[in-house]
Structure 1
Amino acid sequence: MIQQLLQAYWPDWTGDTVEGPSGWNNTTRFIYNSQRRSVMRIYNTHRDKSRIEFEFAVLDSLQSMSLSFKIPTPIPATLGEKAVQIQDGSDRYACLFAYIEGARPEEDDIQAAYSFGEKTGELVHALAKCSVEEEPVYPPYFELLQSYPSCSKAFILDFCKQPPIEFQEQRAALLTLQEAYIDICSRLDSIKSLPQQLVHGDLNFSNLLVDSENMNTVTALLDFEFCTRDVRAMEPAVVISGFLGIRDEREAIRQFCEGFASTVRLSKEEIIAIPVLMRLRLVDVFLHFFSRYREGTDEFHILKEQVNMLANGFKSLEQSQEWMEDLLFQTLL
């Protein structure tokens, strides 16, 4: 199928195909030939071209700025379109991007934590200046209650309190998530009052590249699919939530925050909100996978794995909160 897509829409870019590190939402393939390389992405979980068009509008605006790191560059197809619909009955879309040199860091490797913070701060600064006519398609995190129509509040609470037999081993973990969900729902209105702007919304180890010969340096930030307008402090909160539970957690967060603060400083209100926003991120991930389970996209064992991981994330956050709040004020204010 990949070769058929290339020959039909990008005939100059045909070549050997190698499977890439595909995520939950997309399929990735690397295309190699003797002259150049590219990356194909197939969007698996939606059929909405407007989502892709907004992502590309943001990338186009960022391309006009002088950034110290690379971002994805779409390659237009023969007729000029940047996203083409796959003719296999699935109505999915595919896009081609220029290949970016670099390596993916290991999830517990904190060598690039300071550089990750620098590049995240630089991106926040750049996104604040982006000129994009299209309206964001993805909702902000604080619209949690409207973002997952298949997961009503009543259904989620009932599921966590009385889980199906497949989830009996996750009873304690689900009660942890239920408590976090109730707490976050009560805080959504206050979160809206924080400063807002465009944010990437999904920065983590899987969405960055580092220099292959200098693993301390981030060279690219990837996957702007979920870019939207949200509270500014959500950007560092998402990254920091990804450090929970890793080896050298405290040092990773300290280095990231120092790098971030070299470009962007946050207000007292934003800093106070970061642990809350981290909990919001974890709850959102739970609802994302819960929704995929309800809609039949994932089997139950995928949700079980996520429930266990997210419950552990909440426990790590609770154990780390006191020193984390001090660290955030020391570095970000």
Structure 2
Amino acid sequence: MTERISDFAAIAGRYALRQPLRIELEETGMNNTTRMIYAGEERYVLRVYDNHRDREIAGTEHAILSELQRADLSFRVPAPVSNRDGATITEAPDGKLAAVFGYIAGQRPSPESGAHVEGLGRAAGELTLALAALNPDARLAPAYKPYYDFENTHAAMNEASVKTLCESSPKLAEQAAKAASLLETRRRLTALTERFKELPQQWIHGDIVFANALADGDAIAGLLDFEFCAVDARAMEPAVVLAEFPGEDDALAMNRMRRFCRGYGSKAGLGADEIRLLPDLMQLRLMDVWLHFAGRLAEGLDPERVWLRETERVSFACGWIDRHRRQLDVLFAAMAERQAAI
């Protein structure tokens, strides 16, 4: 632990930060290690990339964030800070990559707040328009595959591998029926791949969820974690958030989706084909997450309870979407009509 603390201090020392300087553990994510830096009266977020050591991946993220600093957004996105060498990427003593970002004040928004749900929709719509202005080039080359390329992304977790995983313990075997149903959903989504590819494509954040946002009162104050930006179907951006809402209370889930769509539709538009495929794109997001955690279990990175939890959650949500497709078609069509009227 002492060695890691000294690593954080060594990274911070590469930046021209005010004194006195203090580094604190306040909150950290699943993919990276983060620390809060107090430098005089200023605050920064130090991130150590734990899941890759690829400068091109981090460089693309930082380039997108730098471009977005010039966009007329109603909320903030992380601003990469340059180190003493003029670079925004710093190599930690252990060889991992690190970066420092300006601090954005706020608290995590809540799906219990209608204002937060609608505000997150507006923020996602604003970001969609801002990212549409960015085109892949030598400096902004996508490092990650689009969601619809999930069969290649999760090639190691083919049907046979998933079935073998289900047979690896008694508790996992209890979920075999749910896994079989999800594999059927997977086959249907795979068959839709060409239709997904034909949808409008652009840069997307790809992981706008409540845990990756900040609120100030009723307003969304910031969107975070742009590490997995990719060129993908534009409609995946709202689909990722909408996939968070299915729940036991149907009316509540529909109301939250309606609020989100109202917020998103006030800022950005989706075409008829995108609207039509939104339920499938929601399931595509859920499938991607399920296969991701299956892979982590197969590699011994997670205890089996994590995939058991995801199997329960994803199975319920995919089934919920299938049961409510008619209502969702009406809800999403209404969003399209509002967009047409704007």
Could you state the TM-score of these two structures normalised by the residue count of structure 2?
A: 0.89
Question: Cα distance 1:79–1:22, how it changes in 2: closer, same or farther (>3 A)?
Answer: same
Instruction: Name the SS for the 1:230 alignment partner.
Output: strand
Change (3 A) 1:123 1:60: same
Distance 1:96 1:332 in 2: 40
**Residue in 2 aligned with 1:45?**
51
1:19 aligns with 2:21: no
Q: Which residue in the other structure is 2:332 paired with?
A: 328
Cα distance in structure 2, aligned partners of 1:304 and 1:40: 33
User: Structure 2: 5+ residue runs without aligned partners?
Assistant: 338-342
Change in Cα spacing, 1:38 to 1:188, as seen in structure 2 (3 Å) is same
> 1:265 pairs with 269, 280, 295, which one?
269
List, as ranges, runs of 4+ consecutive aligned residues in structure 1 with deviation greater than 6 Å: none
| Secondary structure class of the residue paired with 2:211 | helix
Residue matched to 1:318: 322
Give structure 1 stretches of 5+ with no counterpart: none
- Deviation, structure 1 residue 288: 1.1
Q: 1:184 aligns with which of 177, 183, 189?
A: 189
Are 1:130 and 2:150 an aligned pair?
no
Distance 2:311 2:110 in 1: 22
Residues 7 and 53 of structure 1, relative CA distance in 2, 3 Å threshold: closer
Q: Which one-letter code corresponds to 1:317 in the other structure? A: I
For 1:195, the aligned partner's letter is P
- Deviation, structure 1 residue 269: 0.7
User: Which residue identity does 1:66 align to in structure 2?
Assistant: D
Amino acid at match of 2:229: C
Is 1:229 matched with 2:235?
Answer: no
Partner SS, residue 9 of structure 1: coil
- Aligned 8 A contact 2:283 2:318 in 1: yes
Tell me how large the CA RMSD over aligned residues is: 2.0
CA distance in 2, matches of 1:23, 1:245: 24
Amino acid at match of 1:5: A
AA matched with 2:14:
Y
Shift of 1:69: 1.1
Q: Distance in 1 between matches of 2:110 and 2:258?
A: 18
Identify which range, 270-279 or 34-43, moves more after superposition. Answer: 34-43
C-alpha displacement of 1:157: 4.7
After TM superposition, the structure 1 stretch with the greater mean CA deviation from structure 2, 20-29 or 98-107, is 20-29
How far apart in 1 are the matches of 2:150 and 2:316?
21
Match of 1:293 in 2: 297
Counterpart residue type for residue 37 of structure 2: I
Secondary structure class of the residue paired with 2:243: helix
Q: Match for 1:118: what amino acid?
A: R
Farther-moved stretch of structure 1 (57-66 vs 194-203) = 57-66
SS in 1 for 2:34: strand
CA contact (8 A) 2:110 2:210 kept: yes
The secondary structure found in structure 2 opposite 1:112 is helix
Aligned counterpart, 2:308: 304
8 Å Cα contact 1:258/1:332 also seen in 2: no
Residue 109 of structure 2, aligned match among 105, 108, 116: 105
Residue number in structure 2 paired with 1:219? 221
Q: What's the TM-score once normalised by structure 1's chain length?
A: 0.91
Q: CA deviation at 1:78?
A: 1.7
Q: 1:245 to 1:132 in 2, by over 3 A?
A: same
Equivalent residue, structure 1, for 2:204: 199
2:215 equivalent to 1:210 = yes
Match for residue 57 of structure 1 among 54, 63, 81:
63
CA 137–262 in structure 1, closer or farther in 2 if over 3 Å, else same: same
Whichever residue aligns with residue 13 of structure 2, its letter is A
CA deviation digits over 1:254-286, x for unaligned, max 9?
111111111212111110000000010000001
Cα pair distance change 1:159/1:6, threshold 3 Å: closer
- The residue aligned with 2:247 is 245
User: How far has the Cα of 1:153 moved from its partner?
Assistant: 4.1
Q: Is the 8 A contact 2:11 2:92 kept in 1?
A: no
- For residues 28-39 of structure 1, the aligned pairs below 5 Å read 28-39=34-45
Matched length: 327
Q: Aligned in 2, Cα 1:17/1:153: closer, same or farther, shift over 3 Å?
A: same
Q: Percent identity?
A: 33
In structure 2, C-alpha distance between the alignment counterparts of 1:129 and 1:202, rounded to whole Å: 19
Q: How far does residue 295 in structure 1 lie from its aligned partner after superposition?
A: 2.4
Counterpart of 1:170? 175
